[in-house]
């Protein structure tokens, strides 16, 4: 038998789905098919997880094997949420399945739990000496990303005969506003208050542009990952700050027990509780999103040296479990509960597609250049301070970081989506008043 034939036989023998042999995977697959065709998916966490695991495993394996899609579109995470959105759009999921997965994501707040776990592990993994450096440089990177997006957006407007004020109002601000609930919705309220025109008209246009920009942000994230592999000097492989000669205590590996992981998880939940309290009960902080306040609380825990190294590394291990084993589950939920495929299709016009791309590219270049100047890796700065401003908020952050294979940057992504989105609302209030 030839070497090629032996290799082929070995490859077939080793084919696995989510780490399982095809024979073993048939058990959860049959279980889900039985409840699907009898419309009897169990309500609650068990049904939603079982359904999402199986669907995510199938399309995740496909996404990781499609050559062009894997390299330049985002691979498994992107294909999963697009496939889930397609199944909803085509009516291939039952209403019961849609309701159960949507409840799991929105009412049970699985997305919130996922984000809190990733924020905790990623912040505790950052050396205390680097925290201040990153926070000082991050705001300029965000602002430069907004400037880059504005410049490129206005250039796109010239191409299609759209005025700069319309580009800023209808394209740049919605794209860079921090998503739907924290961006497009409040922007429409500000628009109505400033101009007297109905907010519904503004919102429908803003969300269409934002949806296209979100897709472009995912594609650009995947491309940046490839660029980082080729030009290693530009990439920190998931680390934002160029450490230089700093000695990082987190590089020292200590024994981590399951209890350390649980305590790290508990500290993350505690930080979210504190963030919620501050948002709800401290008046001058009420305008800052709970996620952003959670990030600042976690930074304080780490910066003040309150967390032992074993617990910080335990939180990191727990984060890795979530990001490696539950991301495909999450992306099914994103596709079902947060993605309207019909909305995406309706928004696709030549002007919208090209202008949205130019805005995303402008944000990428602006954030990357400033990031390099303040001591960040250009790729990581472009992804977090640029692309995570130009997407649909929390779910968009997950999609962008999944496509770029940098889930550990979720904390910086949340700073972009939340604090950066707040900055955009301030800018919008000024711009809309000028237009009115």
User: DSSP character for 287?
Assistant: T
**What's the pLDDT at 172?**
93
- The residue ranges of every structural domain in the chain are 112-241+249-435
CA distance 244 to 152: 33
The model carries a pTM of 0.76
With the CA atoms of 405, 52, 340 and 217 taken in that order, what torsion angle do they form, in degrees rounded to the nearest 10? 0
Give the DSSP per-residue string, 117-132: HHHHHHHHTS-HHHHH
What is the enclosing helix (H) or strand (E) of 17? strand 16-17
**What's the pLDDT at 382?**
96
**What's the pLDDT at 17?**
94
**What's the pLDDT at 207?**
77
Q: Is the dihedral of CA 134, 126, 328, 394 positive or negative?
A: negative
Residues of the chain where predicted confidence (pLDDT) is lower than 50: 1, 6, 10-11, 245-250
CA distance 120 to 118: 5
Q: Are 388 and 417 in contact (CB under 8 A)?
A: yes
**What's the pLDDT at 211?**
81
**What's the pLDDT at 14?**
67
**What's the pLDDT at 293?**
85
Write out pLDDT tens, residues 273-286.
999 999 899 988 87
**What's the pLDDT at 245?**
47
CA distance 286 to 396: 23
């Amino acid at each position: 038998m030839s070497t090629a034939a032996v290799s082929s036989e070995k490859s077939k023998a080793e084919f696995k789905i989510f780490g399982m042999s095809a024979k073993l995977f048939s058990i959860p697959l049959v279980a889900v098919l039985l409840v699907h065709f009898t419309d009897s998916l169990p309500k609650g966490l068990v049904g939603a997880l079982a359904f999402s695991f199986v669907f995510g495993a199938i399309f995740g394996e496909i996404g990781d094997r499609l050559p062009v899609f894997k390299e330049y579109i985002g691979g498994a995470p992107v294909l999963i949420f697009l496939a889930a959105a397609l199944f909803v759009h085509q009516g291939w999921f039952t209403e019961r399945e849609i309701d159960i997965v949507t409840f799991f994501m929105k009412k049970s707040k699985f997305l919130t739990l996922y984000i809190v776990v990733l924020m905790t592990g990623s912040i505790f993994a950052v050396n205390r000496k680097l925290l201040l450096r990153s926070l000082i440089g991050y705001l300029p990177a965000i602002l430069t990303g907004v400037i880059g997006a504005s410049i490129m957006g206005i250039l796109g407007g010239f191409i299609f005969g759209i005025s700069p004020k319309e580009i800023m109002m209808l394209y740049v601000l919605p794209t860079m506003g921090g998503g739907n609930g924290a961006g497009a919705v409040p922007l429409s309220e500000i628009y109505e208050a400033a101009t007297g025109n109905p907010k519904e008209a503004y919102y429908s246009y803003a969300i269409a542009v934002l949806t296209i920009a979100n897709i472009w942000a995912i594609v650009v994230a995947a491309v940046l990952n490839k660029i980082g592999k080729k030009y290693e000097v530009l990439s920190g492989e998931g680390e934002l700050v160029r450490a230089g000669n700093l000695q990082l205590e987190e590089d020292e590996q200590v024994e981590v027990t399951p209890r350390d992981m649980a305590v790290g998880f508990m500290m993350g939940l505690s930080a979210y509780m504190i963030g919620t309290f501050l948002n709800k009960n401290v008046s001058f902080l009420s305008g800052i999103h709970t996620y952003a306040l959670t990030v600042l609380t976690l930074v304080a825990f780490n910066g003040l040296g309150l967390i032992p190294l074993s617990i910080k590394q335990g939180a990191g291990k727990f984060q890795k479990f979530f990001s490696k084993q539950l991301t495909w589950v999450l992306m099914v939920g994103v596709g079902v509960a947060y993605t309207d495929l019909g909305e995406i299709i309706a928004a696709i016009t030549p002007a919208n597609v090209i202008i949205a791309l130019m805005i995303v590219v402008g944000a990428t270049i602006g954030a990357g250049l400033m990031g390099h100047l303040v001591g960040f890796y250009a790729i990581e700065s472009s992804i977090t301070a640029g692309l995570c401003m130009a997407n649909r908020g929390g779910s968009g952050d997950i999609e962008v970081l999944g496509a770029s294979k940098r889930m550990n940057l979720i904390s910086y992504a949340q700073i972009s989506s939340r604090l950066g989105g707040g900055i955009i609302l301030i800018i919008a209030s000024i711009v809309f008043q000028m237009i009115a």
